[in-house]
């Protein structure tokens, strides 16, 4: 039974952290939250796509160990962009992962907020890298101007799927 639980932990990672003096169980987004998370992530998904294309799964290189976290340089760059460009939608997503109201997330100290973001990326890396990104890449691959049967992701080299050049 212990082996089954360890395998489940690998498939569906949970992580406990202390935030605002309270033990919080961070968990992968439940299926019922996917529509809300995907809708809120739609505005910031290009940031994640860019990081994933440039760094692969290393963009989500986050490790939380006894309430301390470690992240790679590419993950730090991703986090900065998520905060600066993701705004309210990002904070709403963090509230969903922590199963807390948005006001609770807003009131966190900076260190706790970063720990929450790092933990959210860690426990949901498969959600982003294996579920969300491929779907968006498939959708973007069907847009006019995309070559069929590309071996690289359809959005490779693009900095923003929604950005328009000054001439268009």
Any domain includes 75: yes
pLDDT (0 to 100) of residue 41: 84
Q: Is 109 exposed, middle or buried (0-12, 13-18, 19+ CB in 10 A)?
A: exposed
pLDDT (0 to 100) of residue 99: 94
For 16, the 3-state DSSP assignment is strand
Cα-atom radius of gyration of the chain, to the nearest Å? 17
Q: Which domain holds residue 82?
A: 44-139
Name the pairing type of β-strands 68-71 and 62-65: antiparallel
Domain count, the chain: 1
DSSP letter string, 62-129: EEEETTEEEE-HHHHHHHHHHHHHHHHHHHHHHHHHHT--HHHHHTS-HHHHHHHHHHHHHHTHHIII
Any domain includes 155: no
Any domain includes 20: no
For 22, the 3-state DSSP assignment is strand
Any domain includes 101: yes
pLDDT (0 to 100) of residue 151: 38
Any domain includes 4: no
Any domain includes 147: no
pLDDT (0 to 100) of residue 25: 93
Any domain includes 33: no
pTM for the complete prediction?
0.61
**Residues in a beta bridge with 62:** 71
- Ordered per-residue pLDDT tens for the chain, 168 residues: 444 444 544 554 568 899 999 999 998 888 899 899 988 887 787 787 788 788 877 777 776 665 566 777 888 888 888 888 888 999 999 999 999 999 999 999 988 998 898 888 888 877 766 666 666 666 556 544 444 433 333 333 334 444 444 444
- Give the C-alpha separation, 26 to 121, whole Å: 10
Any domain includes 37: no
pLDDT (0 to 100) of residue 135: 63
């Amino acid at each position: 039974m212990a082996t089954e639980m360890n395998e489940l932990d690998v498939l569906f990672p949970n992580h406990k952290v202390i935030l605002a003096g309270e033990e919080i169980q961070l968990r992968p987004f439940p299926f019922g939250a996917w529509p809300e998370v995907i809708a809120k992530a739609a505005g910031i998904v290009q940031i994640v796509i860019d990081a994933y294309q440039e760094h692969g799964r290393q963009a989500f290189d986050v490790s939380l160990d006894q309430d301390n976290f470690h992240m790679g340089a590419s993950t730090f760059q991703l986090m900065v962009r998520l905060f600066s460009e993701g705004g309210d939608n990002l904070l709403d997503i963090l509230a969903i992962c922590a199963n807390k109201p948005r006001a609770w997330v807003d009131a966190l100290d900076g260190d706790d907020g970063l720990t929450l973001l790092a933990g959210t990326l860690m426990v949901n890396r498969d959600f982003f890298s294996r579920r969300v990104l491929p779907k968006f890449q498939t959708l973007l691959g069907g847009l006019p101007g995309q070559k069929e049967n590309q071996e690289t992701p359809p959005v490779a080299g693009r900095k923003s799927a929604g950005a328009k050049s000054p001439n268009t």
